[in-house]
Amino acid sequence: MAVSAGTFIGGTTLKNNAVVTGRMLEAAKDIWEGYVKHPFVLGLADGSLAVEKFRFYLLQDYLYLFDYAKVFAQGVVKAREPDAMRAFASYVDSILNGEMDIHKGYMARLGISKEQAERVRPSLKNQSYTAYMRAVAAEEGPAEIMAAVLSCAISYEHIAKWIVAHYPDAEKHDFYGEWVRGYAAEGYAAANDALIEWMERFAEGYPEAKIARLVEIFVDCSRFESLFWDMAWGMEM
C-alpha cells in the first residue's frame, strides 16, 4: 500500500482492508494535519530551515532511533509466530543499518562524529516519547507494540510525500533533498506497507475494547510526534 500524498489525511480508504489502521489514522487526523503545517516541516519543504535547527533535530532523532529499535526488539520477545519474530527482527536491522544511513550521511556533512552524537543528551520530550513506547512494549503485546511504532514510521512517509507533492523542487535541494528523497522513497513505503499488514494481522479478532486501546496508543504516539517537531523547532532540551 504505497500511499500517495494526502492519503493519511481525512480518513482516506487504505488498501488491503486495513480497518484497524484506518480507525487509528482517523482518530489522529487533526494531529496529522498539523504536521504539514508545522514550521519545521515547511522549512524542510522550501529549504528555509536553519541548519542549526536541523542539526539539533538530527542528533535527537539519531538517539531516538536507538530506543525505537528496542521497541521492535521487544516485539521479537513477545511474538509467538516465527514469521512475526522475523518481521520485528528485520525492522531492528533496517533501523540500525538502513534508516540511520540518512542520519549518518548528514552527520558526515555536518562534521559530527558517531562518538560526538552518542554523547548528546536526549531532550525531555525525546525521553518521554521513547519511555512511553518502551512501557507499551514491556507491558503489552505485539499488536500494541505495532500501534506504538506505526505513527512514527508512516507519518514520515506522509510528510515526505506531501512535501514532494506541494514543493516539487524539494527533492533537488542541495541539503534537505536527501531527507525528502529518503522518506518519500518507494522502498520506505514498501516497508510501511508490511508494518500495516502486520498491524491488521495482530489485531485480527480483537474485541472493541482492545481495538480502542490500539487507537489510544497510536493517537498518543502521534501527539508525541507533534511534540518532537515542536522540540526540534524550538531546540528545546
Give the burial class of 73: count Cβ atoms within 10 A of its Cβ; 0-12 exposed, 13-18 middle, 19 or more buried: middle
Active site residue 152: yes
| Structural element, H or E, at residue 66 | helix 51-78
CA distance linking residue 8 with residue 210, whole number of Å: 23
Helix, strand, or coil here: 22? helix
Contact 168, 162 (CB under 8 A): no
First to last CA, the chain: 37
Please, what sign has the CA dihedral across residues 142, 153, 26, 184? Answer: negative
**DSSP characters for 109-159?**
HTT--HHHHHTSPPPHHHHHHHHHHHHHHHHS-HHHHHHHHHHHHHHHHHH
| Euclidean distance between CA atoms 117 and 102, whole angstroms | 14
115 is catalytic: no
Which candidate in 140, 144, 152, 221 is catalytic? 152
Distance CA 219, CA 112 (A): 34
Catalytic residues: 152, 225
